[in-house]
Structure 1
Amino acid sequence: MPVSLPPALGLSLDLLRCPVCRTRRLHPDHGALRCPVGHTFDITRHGYASLLTGTRATSGDDAAMVQAREWFLSTGAYAPVCGMAARLAVAAVSEQGTVVDVGCGTGYYLAGVLGQMPGARGLGLDTSVCALRSAARAHDRAAAVAWDVFRPFPLADGAADVVLNVFAPRNPTEFHRVLRPTGRLIVVRPTERHLAELRGGVSAMLTVDPAKEQRAAAPTPSPARDAGVHPTRTGPLSGTPGPRTPPASRQGLPCDSHGARSLRPPSPARRTHATR
């Protein structure tokens, strides 16, 4: 039986363009999205659409990483980051706007933004099918699409009032193309102080690339806004698992049965979320 069109995807269908033709619109057709010349893309039973073509992206969180990410986000540790992004979005556009989250992951930040914009619709792009399963149900006005964010986005020109990019790869050329002339680009990225307490106590934890600041300082498409550095501190985490790194095979660490290593923060577990 064909999958029905998810309501959130229906809300954002006019934003999408065939990734093969690049200009033709997509329409629902028996559990898929189809362009006028016949290019067809599946709508999965999990609620997201897969527009990926050709060589598939090899990056993206696996199931264990998504589970760990959702647990960590559920603690509220990154709620200040989500709140900051929402405030910037609300200040930039009307409640009827369109928000595109590039590298949306589980949809946590997109859902937070939409929660403060009652009339807005959202669309998340990510390569991780495991994360997209969560993103597709993160908010009733948030659609999810599988896409490699390093490639030209399958979106119409000037489709977005807000482009959101939180701890994710950036594609400035496409940011500029899909933003409306009055739109707002909101980028949240770690600084060298991000999670300094954890990195200081766990030698195997990945560090922030020292060159990230210089790369991020390169010209960005206008309009863009630098929100400054917002350090926050939170108390010890509760619950059983500790924050997980990517699969241990990527870092040379001993792993558990899920292919990931649980890292317990040093006590007391104060964490500085230093973002810009």
Structure 2
Amino acid sequence: MSPDPLRLLRCPLCGQPLGGQPTGEGGTRTLRCPRGHSFDLARQGYVNLLAGRASHTGDSAEMVGAREEFLGAGHYDPISTALVAAAIASGAVDRAGGGADGTYPELVVDAGAGTGRHLAAVLDAVPDAVGLALDVSKPALRRAARAHPRAASALCDTWTTLPLADASTALLLNVFAPRNGAEFRRVLRPDGALLVVTPAADHLTELVERLDLLRVDPAKSDRVAESLDRGFELVDRGRHSHRMWLRRPEVTTLVGMGPSAWHLDPDRLAARIEGLPEPVEVTAAVEVGVYRPR
């Protein structure tokens, strides 16, 4: 775990800064606030900053494994590329230097980071920034903790108070994940940017009918903008799409990593996938919204 993002973490119980307790060459193993609340670093590399029970458990180990396999094959790399382009164009992070005060690296936070692949792509493009992956899924964070050497990972429920200092974040990423507008606004710097990636109406359209997948609301992007309107201004929105040629096992993996995995009967799904042509052409289509704090 990179130590740089840790200075901006806050205790989820009292809001005080968290400091590390070093244990020799193994690095920081415990974070402790001035009031004595302590949080151990899991051996998998993330710190558990949940305050009480989470409102949900997040993605299962099976879903996370499917996501890592599918993303690892590069099928969604164009989405990462679009996210990187939006991050650089926003000017919220400096590709050539450190933080706004010239002392600390700028912080990129991925809220609902999953395996951390999109966060890693942004950090690769901004070599002086550090990253923090936030997710409520332990299986996801076990992978996110290894996603990039300049990133840290923390278990938290993003529907509640984020374990971050006010105005600590230069760039906040939200890719196919829930949005907590009030907390996003609190932790984002006044000159920062929020990048929200949502599926477009024709995302995976070739599979929706054939496999009875959950459908994307055509007005989803507008609803997202409305939900963030109190604290943010939408300054740009771009559509990005690409074609994927998938074999049947890859379709199974794709469905297994998304929300439809919770709703489909496995046997019926397998039969429908078996009836697909191989390979099958599938559209990946997203919208990337760029928001500025009001």
What band does the TM-score fall into relative to the shorter chain?
0.7 to 0.9
CA distance in structure 2 between the partners assigned to 1:236 and 1:254 by the alignment = 19
How does the TM-score come out when normalised to structure 1?
0.87
Q: Report the equivalent of 1:72.
A: 70
Q: CA deviation at 1:160?
A: 0.8
Contact 1:132–1:145 (CA under 8 A) maintained in structure 2: yes
Q: Is the 8 A contact 1:122 1:142 kept in 2?
A: yes
For residues 151-185 of structure 1, the C-alpha deviation after alignment (integer angstroms, 9 at most, x for no partner) is: 01110111111000000000111111111111111
Give the structure 2 partner of residue 117 of structure 1. Answer: 126
Q: Which residue of 1 aligns with 2:195?
A: 186
The letter of the residue matching 2:266 is P
Matches within 5 A, 1:1-276: 6=1, 8=2, 10-22=3-15, 24-29=16-21, 31-91=29-89, 92=91, 93-95=93-95, 96=98, 97-203=106-212, 205-210=213-218, 212-218=220-226, 219=229, 221-222=231-232, 224-237=234-247, 242-243=252-253, 244-245=255-256, 250-254=262-266, 264=273, 266-267=276-277, 268-276=279-287
Q: Tell me how far apart the structure 2 counterparts of residues 262 and 104 of structure 1 sit (CA, whole Å).
A: 32
8 A Cα contact 1:186 1:225, kept in partner: no
Aligned partners of 1:110, 1:122: CA distance in 2, in Å? Answer: 7
Partner of 2:291: none
Structure 2 match to 1:3: none
Contact 2:70 2:250 in 1 (8 A): no
The percentage of counterpart residues that share the same residue type is 43
Q: Distance in 2 between matches of 1:136 and 1:84?
A: 23
Per-residue CA distance 1:234-273 (angstroms, 9 max, x = gap): 22348677324369983251369xxx96974833422222
**Partner amino acid, structure 2, of 1:106:** T
Letter in 1 for 2:159: F
Q: Which moved more, 1:146-155 or 1:209-218?
A: 209-218
SS of corresponding position for 1:70: helix
Contact 2:225 2:234 in 1 (8 A): no
Two-structure CA RMSD over aligned residues (Å): 2.5
Alignment TM-score, normalising by the size of structure 2: 0.82
Q: How far 1:56 sits from its partner (Å)?
A: 2.5
Bigger helix share: 2
How far residue 209 of structure 1 moved from its aligned partner, in angstroms, is 3.5
CA contact (8 A) 2:110 2:134 kept: yes
2:290 maps to none
Residues 225 and 141 of structure 1, relative CA distance in 2, 3 Å threshold: farther
TM-fit CA distance, 1:142: 1.0
Aligned length: 264
Using the TM superposition, give the Cα deviation of residue 133 of structure 1 relative to its aligned residue in structure 2, in angstroms. Answer: 0.2
